[in-house]
Amino acid sequence: MISNVIKHEYQLSQKYYKNYFLTCLIAVLVGLVTYQKLKFSKFSVDSLMLAVLSTDQMAFCLVPFLIMIILTTFNFKNGDILRCQTRNVIFFQALYRILFPYLLMETSWMIVNLMVILLGKYRILLKEIWFSLLIRSIFMWLSCLAFAIIAAIFYFYLQNKIMAFFICLGISCLSKGLQDSQQISLFYDFVVPNTGKDIFLRIIIVTILIGLFYKLLKIGIKQKDF
């Protein structure tokens, strides 16, 4: 069944190619903003880390556009359930429509930022911070994935895309506000100058939460009327 869902969703992706193109475009534009920041910033490791791992870009650009694009593709049909005789088909369709734009945005973001670093003067610092930058980038994108699943959960529980969007955006902004006030925000703690042990611990916590959200999403789909 999973292979059939993937095949069907891949073919259906052509219907949403404009949405997915916008996903890549937003990631590229964020990368260009990073380039501008580095161009006018003091040459230092901190400048590089803060420019690439920007909480402002994540909270006000990456997360809003990601969840908006995901929710616009959430149109499920009762006929798919009847044909497959299980609601799991909707669950796998939802996962595909979450992960496909998410991976497009993440990959585009990583490629553009890597090019910005390697083609500029900051490439000489990459040897020094590449591992920390990689781990914190993974942390950031796990947080983005968490927000994407949260938006999907609220959509299936409330059956309202607009409410799901604004609730998820509110949670994101609240989390960022906590980080700005130097409190534990969890989802935006990838910029906190902690030791490696603290970062790994928070990554594990976010990963566990994603697993919990995964379960809640499955429950929400079982309860939704199609």
Show the DSSP H helices in the chain as ranges.
2-12, 17-39, 45-52, 55-57, 63-72, 78-84, 88-118, 123-158, 161-180, 196-223
User: Which amino acid makes up residue 191?
Assistant: V
DSSP, res 120 = S
* DSSP conformation letters of 38-53: HHTS-SSHHHHHHHHS
Q: How far is CA 104 from CA 93, 96, 151, in A?
A: 17, 12, 18
Token readout for 111 is: 């490629």
User: Which amino acid makes up residue 104?
Assistant: L
Element (H, E) at 77: none
Give pLDDT tens digits for 10-35. 666 778 888 899 999 999 999 999 98
pLDDT of residue 170: 96
pLDDT of residue 89: 82
Coil/strand/helix, residue 11: helix
Report the mean per-residue pLDDT for the chain: 88
Burial of 208 (0-12, 13-18, 19+ CB in 10 A): exposed
Q: What is the mean pLDDT of residues 84-109?
A: 88
Give pLDDT tens digits for 50-69. 899 999 999 999 999 999 99
Cβ atoms of residues 102 and 183 within 8 Å: no
Burial of 129 (0-12, 13-18, 19+ CB in 10 A): middle
pLDDT of residue 109: 95
pTM: 0.92
Dihedral angle computed from the Cα positions of residues 108, 20, 214 and 179, in that order, rounded to the nearest 10 degrees? 50
pLDDT of residue 195: 64
Give pLDDT tens digits for 171-226. 999 999 999 998 888 899 998 876 668 889 999 999 999 999 999 999 988 876 65
